[in-house]
């Protein structure tokens, strides 16, 4: 058993050569360092101290399985760590204390620098004034005559002696003492005058203090404010006086008789007088010269035209898809330039004259130059020609005019009532636009339909209506919606057998809709209701005569014309075309895929001749008695409409289902009329397109994905599985999340612990500093009291000795 602590300490010191004999010569290691070297000695002493102080070490227990072997855990020195942390906190506290009330913020204290309401001139003036005031304050720092506002105080009371001096002066002035030194000596006037002149020359004008300057500014502000108030009161008084006398002034003015002027009195014209209107027009024409734009090359013009066409096409596609693309526009969403030079409307006979549009654009520049010459002419014409507000007014004006000159007459009305000439003309032209539409519908029902000039007049009127619809779209839209409602009501009455539909004017109206508006839009105020009414026409009516079949064919062609760009499928068109084909079949055709049934039977000859030219049906045919030979024309017209529909339907995914009934019906017609080339070519076209559609069609299949392995959430066997481990989790992602949460929690606890230690250390330091301050204060006060008491005791002793000495003398 080891000895006591003292014996162990002596043995350790002796073993390390710190005690006992130190001059022993070493024979083995001559190059060994000197044992008494100071660093080595201190190191050895520290090791011995650590060895004999086991409480300065902390050994953690090993948590790993060592297999019944003793393994020493990690060691720590809490005392050394605590002292090191204490030193670090002390250094941080001293640094924080030294940096207190210090910051690196640059404060721009220039006068008016951050004031946004001051102009640069005001800032410069304010800074100059401030600089002068600072210079005056520096120069008068030691000037005793300068009255400073700063004064010493103690417990809120002034320490100045001004009041006492003033009181003494008052006492001296009020006293009746006749001492000579208090009376002013008499001086001669000459000496006084000389002194006054010298004082006026030598005395420098005193500079005003800041308080005096501010008092002067405040006084001036109050003075001007009072002056403004007086002026305002005087102004209000004058206004009240005028209000009181206003009625009297009006009565006096009313009593003055007016001179009557003759209606036909002609004023003498002054040859030197200036024609004001003419001079204004000349000044408007004499415009300031502007630099001309660079002449663009053909390539640049083509690029601009292509860019504009591309932009218009993108806008049309967005409308066709029903997408919102900006602010609302009028009913005519599509610009005229979209169709280019050769549009389908022109191919159908509705051509718009571009020269008229260019002349209309140039009217603004040339109208002012021609107003003076044509003003009298327009005034006289306008007195005779009025703007029609109804179809009856227009017919009254057209009674004495030849039919061929109708467009000229309408153009003349439009020119006379141009919105540039007078206010209110725009509203008149809006109404006149609807009147033109009514007149076009009226002409379609009139006897002029058979005349040679009818087509030219109709095309001219449609072009005029097209131009007016762009400027007066609101009134035209409202009228056409009312017209659509009227047509739909007549369809309902026709189904019950009380009315006749369709009329020639109805079909003309729907044709005009396709000319005036963009029919490819997803939704349109006019086109969408028109499509609904046309679909109801094909679905609800019974086509039991050749005239009605012609009307249905025309309606189908109108719908296909509407969908020529958007290529939407309208099932009513397919249903009617199947029904119409079955009406011309020699025998009854039955099949489960054919859902239509004919309303009538129209016989065709056994051998039908193919027309050399395209068959053209007229709208007026629906009201005429047609011969039996006309059946062939209607049949071939149906084939051409089916061919037109085929071009629109062939890109649909459901083309197989759409084309199957037509293919069956045409196969029967091909058997009945094998020599007819139009039937054979159309049947073969259906067969090819149907085959291509079947080949391109792919059956629906599930979406192919990469095969995923089955997730093993509960493994059967794990080599390093430990059920005692609380943090064990088979989900790797969840395990990482929990690990991160534990780390965050541990870091938070550690930081909170360190913050509490720092707070306690700062509190201890502040308490110790306050104690030191109090200790120094009390020591200082004790020394002062000792000094005072010592001096008082010495004085007291001296007083006592003096007192005793006086008593002894007595």
Convert the pLDDT of each residue in 370-416 to its tens digit. 444 444 444 444 445 788 888 898 888 888 888 888 889 999 998 98
- pLDDT one-digit tens code per residue, 608-666: 777 767 767 777 777 777 777 788 888 888 888 999 998 888 888 888 888 888 888 88
With H, G, I as helix, E, B as strand and everything else as coil, classify residue 76. Answer: strand
Nearest to 557 by CA among 623, 437, 640: 640
| pLDDT (0 to 100) of residue 45 | 86
- pLDDT one-digit tens code per residue, 669-681: 888 888 888 888 8
Quote the CA–CA distance of 347 and 328 in Å, as a whole number: 31
Q: What is the mean pLDDT of the chain?
A: 76
Segment among 163-167, 400-404, 641-645, 793-797 with least mean pLDDT: 163-167
- pLDDT one-digit tens code per residue, 443-453: 888 866 666 77
> Is the pLDDT higher at 491 or at 349?
491
| pLDDT (0 to 100) of residue 760 | 95
- pLDDT one-digit tens code per residue, 25-69: 555 555 455 545 667 888 888 888 877 777 777 877 766 655 666
> Is the pLDDT higher at 581 or at 247?
581
Looking at the predicted structure, is the pLDDT value of residue 298 above 90? no
Signed CA dihedral, 454, 457, 458, 459: sign only: positive
| pLDDT (0 to 100) of residue 127 | 80
| pLDDT (0 to 100) of residue 717 | 67
**Could you say which DSSP state residue 34 is in?**
P
**Could you say which DSSP state residue 17 is in?**
T
Could you tell me the residue ranges of all domains in the chain?
343-356+372-471
Distances (CA, A) of 807 to 798, 800, 801, 803, 810: 14, 11, 10, 6, 5
Tokens linked to 603 = 């016989």
- Phi, psi at 327, each rounded to 5°: -70, 155
785-790-792-797 Cα dihedral, nearest 10 degrees: 160
Looking at the predicted structure, is the pLDDT value of residue 683 above 80? yes
Q: Are 573 and 645 in contact (CB under 8 A)?
A: yes
| pLDDT (0 to 100) of residue 782 | 92
Mean pLDDT calculated for residue range 736-756 = 94
Confidence of residue 278 (pLDDT cuts 50, 70, 90): confident
pTM for the model stands at 0.48
For 531-562, give the DSSP string: HHHHHHHHHHS---SHHHHHHHHHHHHHHHHH
Quote the CA–CA distance of 115 and 105 in Å, as a whole number: 19
- pLDDT one-digit tens code per residue, 551-579: 888 999 999 999 888 888 999 999 999 88
Distances (CA, A) of 118 to 213, 225, 417, 455, 484: 21, 22, 57, 76, 67
> Is the pLDDT higher at 321 or at 537?
537
Mean pLDDT calculated for residue range 480-501 = 86
> Is the pLDDT higher at 727 or at 526?
526
Segment among 309-313, 468-472, 579-583, 603-607 with least mean pLDDT: 603-607
Among left, alpha and beta (phi > 0; psi -120 to 50; other), residue 17 is left
- pLDDT one-digit tens code per residue, 765-792: 999 999 999 999 999 999 999 988 888 8
| pLDDT (0 to 100) of residue 676 | 83
Angle in degrees, CA 515, 516, 520, rounded to 5: 75
Mean pLDDT calculated for residue range 528-546 = 88
| pLDDT (0 to 100) of residue 758 | 93
Q: Residue 32: CB partners within 8 Å, gap ≥ 6?
A: 26
Q: Are 34 and 53 in contact (CB under 8 A)?
A: no
| pLDDT (0 to 100) of residue 384 | 59
> Is the pLDDT higher at 273 or at 377?
273
Nearest to 6 by CA among 22, 23, 19: 19
Question: From the centroid of its chain, how far is CA 262?
Answer: 65
Q: Are 583 and 665 in contact (CB under 8 A)?
A: no
| pLDDT (0 to 100) of residue 610 | 75
| pLDDT (0 to 100) of residue 335 | 43
Confidence of residue 325 (pLDDT cuts 50, 70, 90): very low
Mean pLDDT calculated for residue range 73-84 = 82
> Is the pLDDT higher at 35 or at 299?
299
Q: Are 554 and 617 in contact (CB under 8 A)?
A: yes
Looking at the predicted structure, is the pLDDT value of residue 269 above 70? no
Tokens linked to 61 = 């227990």
């Amino acid at each position: 058993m080891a000895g006591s602590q003292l014996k162990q300490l002596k043995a350790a010191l002796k073993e390390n050569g710190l005690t006992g004999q130190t001059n022993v010569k070493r024979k083995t290691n001559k190059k060994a360092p000197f044992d008494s070297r100071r660093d080595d000695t201190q190191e050895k002493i520290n090791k011995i101290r650590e060895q004999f102080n086991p409480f300065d070490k902390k050994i953690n227990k090993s948590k790993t399985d060592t297999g019944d072997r003793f393994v020493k855990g990690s060691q720590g020195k809490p005392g050394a760590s605590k002292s090191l942390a204490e030193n670090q906190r002390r250094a941080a506290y001293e640094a924080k204390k030294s940096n207190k009330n210090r910051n690196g913020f640059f404060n721009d204290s220039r006068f008016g620098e951050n004031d946004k309401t001051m102009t640069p001139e005001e800032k410069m003036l304010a800074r100059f004034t401030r600089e002068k005031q600072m210079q005056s304050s520096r120069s008068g720092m030691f000037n005793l005559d300068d009255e400073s506002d700063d004064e010493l105080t103690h417990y809120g009371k002034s320490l100045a002696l001004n009041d006492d001096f003033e009181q003494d002066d008052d006492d001296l002035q009020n006293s009746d003492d006749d001492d000579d030194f208090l009376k002013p000596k008499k001086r001669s006037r000459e000496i006084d005058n000389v002194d006054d002149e010298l004082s006026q020359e030598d005395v420098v004008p005193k500079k005003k203090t800041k308080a005096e300057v501010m008092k002067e500014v405040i006084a001036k502000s109050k003075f001007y404010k009072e002056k403004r108030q007086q002026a305002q009161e005087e102004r209000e008084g004058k206004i009240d006086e005028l209000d009181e006398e206003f009625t009297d002034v009006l009565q006096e003015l009313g009593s003055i008789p007016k001179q009557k002027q003759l209606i036909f009195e002609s004023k003498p014209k002054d040859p030197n007088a200036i024609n004001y209107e003419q001079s204004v027009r000349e000044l408007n024409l004499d415009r300031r010269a502007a630099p001309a734009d660079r002449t663009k090359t053909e390539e640049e013009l083509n690029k601009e035209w292509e860019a504009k066409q591309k932009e218009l096409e993108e806008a049309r596609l967005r409308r066709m898809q029903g997408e919102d693309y900006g602010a609302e526009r009028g009913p005519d969403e599509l610009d005229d330039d979209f169709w280019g030079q050769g549009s389908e409307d022109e191919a159908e006979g509705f051509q718009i004259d571009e020269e008229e549009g260019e002349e209309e654009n140039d009217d603004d520049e040339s109208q002012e130059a021609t107003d003076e010459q044509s003003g009298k002419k327009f005034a006289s014409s306008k007195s005779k020609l009025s703007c029609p507000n109804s179809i009856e007014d227009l017919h009254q004006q057209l009674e004495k005019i030849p039919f061929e000159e109708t467009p000229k007459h309408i153009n003349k009305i439009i020119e006379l009532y141009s919105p540039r000439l007078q206010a209110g003309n725009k509203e008149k032209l809006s109404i006149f636009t609807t009147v033109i539409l009514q007149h076009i519908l009226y002409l379609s029902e009139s006897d002029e339909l058979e005349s040679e000039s009818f087509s030219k007049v109709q095309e001219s009127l449609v072009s005029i209506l097209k131009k007016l619809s762009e400027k007066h779209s609101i009134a035209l839209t409202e009228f056409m919606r009312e017209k659509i409602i009227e047509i739909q009501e007549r369809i309902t009455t026709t189904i019950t057998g009380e009315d006749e539909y369709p009329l020639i004017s109805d079909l003309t109206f729907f044709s005009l809709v396709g000319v005036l508006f963009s029919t490819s839009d997803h939704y349109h105020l006019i086109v969408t209701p028109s499509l609904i009414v046309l679909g109801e026409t094909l679905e609800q009516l019974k086509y039991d005569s050749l005239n009605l079949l012609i009307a249905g064919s025309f309606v189908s062609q109108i719908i296909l014309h509407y969908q020529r760009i958007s290529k939407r499928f309208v099932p009513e068109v397919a249903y009617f075309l199947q029904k119409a084909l079955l009406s011309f079949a020699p025998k009854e055709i039955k099949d489960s895929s054919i859902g239509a049934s004919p309303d009538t039977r129209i016989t065709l000859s056994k051998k039908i001749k193919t027309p050399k030219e395209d068959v053209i049906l007229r709208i007026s045919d629906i009201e005429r008695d047609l011969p039996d030979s006309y059946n062939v024309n209607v049949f071939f017209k149906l084939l051409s409409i089916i061919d037109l529909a085929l071009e629109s339907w062939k890109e649909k995914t459901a083309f197989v289902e759409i084309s199957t009934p037509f293919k069956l019906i045409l196969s029967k017609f091909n058997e009945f009329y094998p020599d007819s080339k139009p039937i054979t070519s159309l049947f073969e076209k259906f067969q090819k397109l149907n085959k291509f559609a079947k080949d391109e069609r792919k059956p629906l299949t599930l979406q192919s994905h990469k095969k995923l392995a089955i997730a093993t959430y509960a493994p059967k066997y794990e080599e390093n599985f430990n059920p005692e481990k609380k943090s064990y989790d088979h989900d790797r992602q969840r395990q990482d999340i929990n690990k991160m949460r534990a780390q965050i929690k541990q870091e938070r606890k550690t930081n909170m612990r360190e913050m509490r230690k720092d707070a306690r250390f700062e509190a201890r330091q502040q308490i110790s500093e306050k104690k030191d301050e109090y200790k120094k204060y009390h020591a200082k006060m004790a020394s002062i009291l000792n000094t005072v008491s010592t001096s008082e005791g010495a004085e007291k002793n001296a007083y006592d000795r003096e007192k005793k000495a006086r008593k002894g003398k007595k």
